[in-house]
Chain A
Amino acid sequence: MDKPIAPQRWQMRLAGLGGRTLAIIVVLALVVAAAHRGAWRVDLSPDRRFTLDPALETILVAQDEPVSVVAIWPAEADEQVEPLVESLHAMVRRNPRLSYRRIDPARDQPALEQFAKRYQDRSGPAIYLCRGERAFKITVTDVGLSRRTLQQDVGGALLTLADPNPPQARFLLGHGELQPDGSDDGGDALVRALTLGGFRTVLGGEQPIDPGSLLVIAGPTGPLGAPTIARIDQHLVDGGSLLVFADQRMPADLAILLRRHGIFVGPGIPRDLGDPAILLADNPEPMPPTDVVSLTRNARAVTRQAEFPYYNLLIGPDLLGEDGTLHPALVATAAARRDLLSPGSTPVLVLALDPVAQRDLVQRLAAVEGQDVGNLLDDVRMPASAAHGGVGNLGPHLKNAQPGGRAAFSRGHQRGKHPGVTVIGSQHLLIHIHVNPALPGANAAWPRTVERQRH
């Protein structure tokens, strides 16, 4: 009978070696798995983008009603927008009343239809914060809605949605403006955008304008008339805000009114921008309509996203300067400690500036100004901070806001106080921004116009 062949010694040693190696690798895998479950992390980014701001945490924790965060984009885009998804999950974890879900427009048609029926909107890519029957839309643009700006937007949106008396957006009608009546001229899109930006919209009416409200003049083509101009002027003097969509067709009386408030637009653009007297002149010699000074480097992305068909109003670059330098008008404004965009007096304005462009602006201003630039743009107030300029953290309008209280926007501008700029809305609304170059300390050598085209 044959004896069983004993394994050779070297085979035993090899088996032992393999077993030990495998065991250590398994232990290493378990360590990695444990580390993964622990989710411990350190945020060393300059703007602390991986950390929820304490102000936002307070707002999140204070939510006393269910809020659903609904993302509308294709499932394939999840990886592309992973930072946003991750941030949203982190926010939702702070309060069980908050929930998150993604609707894929191609695969979740019933859910999308249901959502559209309830909130009158279904366009993506976007993030909607829904509380009861109200929703707030945060558009996701390809130029990047960063973790930081997302925090600002979500914080502002939650405050706005919790506000039982949201700020009013009052539409001026009857002068050739866009008609929010179901026609296809974009008026309905504008109303919807403002509603999804936290406003309660009111169409027309002759009653006095609440100074805390936003007056919307969307593309007027006929004269407004002296009484209406006087009402608008009083509204501005009282610290109210004004959103104007306009081009060359805009009536001269409105253009002259805006010019008195330091904004040059359409027929109100004078030939001699360097003469401060033109601010008060009723009929200075007009500049050719192709000469404008405008801001917003990022109009490209905004126009692609825009639902608002008034594209010819979306004048693009470039107050920031084609060569990467800051336009002297902005430098002078910052140096003079004046309001950034409306150096005249009251906070007329006019825009929803892309948040990335705002951040870029702040960074560039920081290079000119030093440490205080954040304060300069903290004067910017808005409901959802879509254009918030704070670099390192949320601005005081969120920090000081009481959860459940009124949105920061509704604080409005106080008469006789430091002039501020009111930036409203979300990224898909945009309009001319004109800087009054007749500023103290302005350099006479700076170019009077930086852009010579009108789209």
Chain B
Amino acid sequence: MSATAIARRDLIAAFTTPLAWLVIATWALVTNGLFVIFALHPYHGNAGADQPLYVVTLSGGVWVLLFLAPAITMNSFASERAQGTMQLLLTVPVRETHLVLGKFVAAFALLGTLVATTLVQVGTLAVVSQLYLPHLLAAYGGYLLLCALLAALGVWISLLVDSPVTAYVMTFGGIFVLLLFTFTEPYPLLKPLHAVFAVLPRAQRFLAGEIRLADVAWFLAATATFLLLSHAALCARRIHG
């Protein structure tokens, strides 16, 4: 069984249950609501606006994504364990790497689906306004890197706990800790933590149209780290039983 097969299996499972649809509906409701309020409202583009309209709702959407991402990733491994299929999964002839990658790709694809729904807003703005494609690509690139990080974090935590609910809470806690580091810059003792772990400023830079190699490397390295930890945890489970 390859990573692709595992990802396909998880995606099919996700879309045959109400949860994924519920999350997508919530996401669409909130982000489109933000879009109408902040972008299509008559007072849009006021003098204080420093970002193009097509980035306004994406900026707000980052926060929503941080809350919804755990709901997507919590089922990765925790649901296998809750349903009693984890042992079965561990016995199938598939490498741990493929298993982790398959779960990750499925979670990433689901989060990517959320992001893809915002393209409707871009299409709307393309009709009534102007788009600057390179900036838009930078913004969505940042979004996808954030999705990859959240998916990897969620998969790892889902592997460590027994139930999806616990996985949701723990993943949310992990994201919350990453968020906390965003606000530690004014405190000299905690400033280094901000420099190393703060996720939001990095995401916001993409949304502003600035792509830094350091930010790209940070997102990719953080994603890889959580995938490595997932791989190690899975291997340890197989080794130790």
**A residues apposed to B, CB below 8 Å:** 10, 13-14, 17-18, 21, 24-25, 28-29, 31-32, 35-36, 38-46, 49-50, 75-76, 78-79, 143-144, 146, 297-298, 323-324, 354, 356-357, 359-360, 363-364
Residues of A within 8 A of B236 (CB): 14, 17
Instruction: Judge whether B210 and A50 touch: CB under 8 Å.
Output: yes
Q: Mark B142-184, 1 if CB is under 8 A from A, else 0.
A: 0000000000000000000000000000000000000000000
Expressed in whole angstroms, the minimum distance between the Cβ of A265 and any Cβ of chain B is 23
Partner of A356 from B48, B185, B209, B211 at Cβ < 8 Å: B48
Instruction: Judge whether A44 and B210 touch: CB under 8 Å.
Output: yes
Closest to A29 in B: B221
Expressed in whole angstroms, the minimum distance between the Cβ of A164 and any Cβ of chain B is 36
Taking A10-B239, A28-B224, A45-B135 as given, write out 10 further A-B residue pairs in contact, using a Cβ cutoff of 8 Å, ordered by the A residue number. A14-B236, A17-B239, A24-B228, A32-B217, A35-B217, A38-B214, A39-B213, A46-B135, A79-B185, A354-B47
Q: Mark B199-213, 1 if CB is under 8 A from A, else 0.
A: 000000000111111
Inter-chain CA distance A307–B90, complex, in Å, is 72
Q: Does B117 contact A (CB under 8 A)?
A: no
Q: Does B192 contact A (CB under 8 A)?
A: no
Q: List 19 A-B contacts (CB under 8 A).
A: A17-B236, A24-B224, A28-B224, A28-B225, A31-B221, A39-B214, A40-B214, A41-B212, A41-B213, A44-B211, A45-B208, A50-B208, A50-B209, A76-B186, A144-B50, A146-B50, A324-B42, A324-B45, A360-B46
Expressed in whole angstroms, the minimum distance between the Cβ of A351 and any Cβ of chain B is 15
Residues of B within 8 A of A359 (CB): 47
Residues of B within 8 A of A44 (CB): 134-135, 137-138, 209-211
Tell me the interface secondary structure of chain A in the complex. helix
Q: Does B229 contact A (CB under 8 A)?
A: yes
Which 4 pairs across A and B sit closest by C-beta, in order of nearness? A45-B209, A35-B217, A40-B213, A28-B221
Inter-chain CA distance A390–B56, complex, in Å, is 23
Closest to B131 in A: A46
Instruction: Judge whether B42 and A18 touch: CB under 8 Å.
Output: no
Inter-chain CA distance A297–B49, complex, in Å, is 13
Q: Mark B223-241, 1 if CB is under 8 A from A, else 0.
A: 0110011011001100110
Instruction: Judge whether B48 and A144 touch: CB under 8 Å.
Output: yes
Q: Does B218 contact A (CB under 8 A)?
A: yes
Contact (A32, B218) CB under 8 Å given A13-B239, A44-B137, A45-B208: yes
Residues of A within 8 A of B209 (CB): 43-46, 49-50
Partner of B132 from A28, A46, A49 at Cβ < 8 Å: A46
Inter-chain CA distance A160–B118, complex, in Å, is 47
Residues of A within 8 A of B224 (CB): 24, 28
Q: Does B112 contact A (CB under 8 A)?
A: no
Partner of A17 from B44, B134, B235 at Cβ < 8 Å: B235
Q: Number of B residues whose C-beta is below 8 Å from A?
A: 38
Contact (A25, B225) CB under 8 Å given A32-B214, A46-B209, A324-B42: yes
Instruction: Judge whether A14 and B240 touch: CB under 8 Å.
Output: yes
Instruction: Judge whether A323 and B214 touch: CB under 8 Å.
Output: no
Residues of A within 8 A of B235 (CB): 17
Instruction: Judge whether B46 and A41 touch: CB under 8 Å.
Output: no
Inter-chain CA distance A31–B213, complex, in Å, is 11
Inter-chain CA distance A44–B210, complex, in Å, is 6
Residues of A within 8 A of B44 (CB): 324
Expressed in whole angstroms, the minimum distance between the Cβ of B66 and any Cβ of chain A is 20
Residues of B within 8 A of A363 (CB): 45
Residues of A within 8 A of B43 (CB): 324
Expressed in whole angstroms, the minimum distance between the Cβ of A298 and any Cβ of chain B is 5
Partner of B211 from A32, A36, A42, A364 at Cβ < 8 Å: A42
Contact (A31, B186) CB under 8 Å given A41-B211, A144-B50, A298-B47: no
Inter-chain CA distance A13–B214, complex, in Å, is 34
Residues of B within 8 A of A45 (CB): 135, 208-210
Inter-chain CA distance A78–B194, complex, in Å, is 14
Inter-chain CA distance A29–B138, complex, in Å, is 24
Contact (A323, B225) CB under 8 Å given A40-B212, A44-B135, A45-B135: no
Residues of A within 8 A of B138 (CB): 42, 44
Residues of A within 8 A of B217 (CB): 31-32, 35-36
Residues of A within 8 A of B210 (CB): 41-45, 50
Closest to B216 in A: A35
Closest to B49 in A: A360
Closest to B182 in A: A79
Most central of A10, A25, A44, A354 by chain B CB within 10 Å: A44
Task: Please provide the chain B residues from 30 to 48 with a CB less than 8 Å away from any CB of chain A in the complex.
Answer: 42-48
Expressed in whole angstroms, the minimum distance between the Cβ of A18 and any Cβ of chain B is 7
Inter-chain CA distance A44–B232, complex, in Å, is 38
Instruction: Judge whether A38 and B213 touch: CB under 8 Å.
Output: yes
Instruction: Judge whether B232 and A36 touch: CB under 8 Å.
Output: no
Residues of B within 8 A of A144 (CB): 48, 50
Expressed in whole angstroms, the minimum distance between the Cβ of A13 and any Cβ of chain B is 5
Closest to A10 in B: B239
Residues of A within 8 A of B42 (CB): 323-324
